[in-house]
Amino acid sequence: MSQKPDTRRVQSYLIEEEPDIRTQKRRVTRDIGAERRVVVSKVVALIWLAFGVLDVLLLFRLALKLINANPNNAFADFIYDLTALFVKPFVGIVESPTSDGMILEIPVLAAIIVYSLVAWVLARLVWVIFYRPDSRVISTFEERET
């Protein structure tokens, strides 16, 4: 995982006011635009991750049906149960061709396509609504004795 880029610029310099006392002044600059872009990119990454996991599960289901996996097997049953909710809206649109017990589930293919498009639309919406290309910089001065 990548770390959050540092969006602050710090300038430090020492000023001697008295021979024994030093004061450190520091200018802290926060780039609000860069911080916001980091948050937006992380939200988009989470959207792609969630829908990517869903697509992989659907691909497992498709592969298990294609190789005529035993539905009584714990792994196959787990995948079928987990993905049933996501495939249900697409069942009945078209028939799934079968041959020697192998099934090509067309509804699963439709689900993969539709959920991938939904992920793309959500990611683009987040970018369009929340992304700000401009940078707003806030500068503050801090002073402390060292």
The ranges assigned to domains in the chain are 8-145
Residues 122-131 pLDDT 10s: 999 999 998 8
> Quick one: tokens of 14?
């020492």
How far is the C-alpha of 90 from the C-alpha of 105, rounded, in Å?
Answer: 10
Name, in order, each residue with C-beta under 8 angstroms of 15's C-beta and a sequence gap of 6 or more. Answer: 22, 23, 24, 25
pLDDT band, residue 58 (cuts 50/70/90): very high
DSSP 4: P
Output the pLDDT for position 1.
44
Name, in order, each residue with C-beta under 8 angstroms of 70's C-beta and a sequence gap of 6 or more. Answer: 76
Phi, then psi, of 28 in degrees rounded to 5: -110, 125
Output the pLDDT for position 101.
87
With a cut of 90, say whether residue 26 has pLDDT above it: no
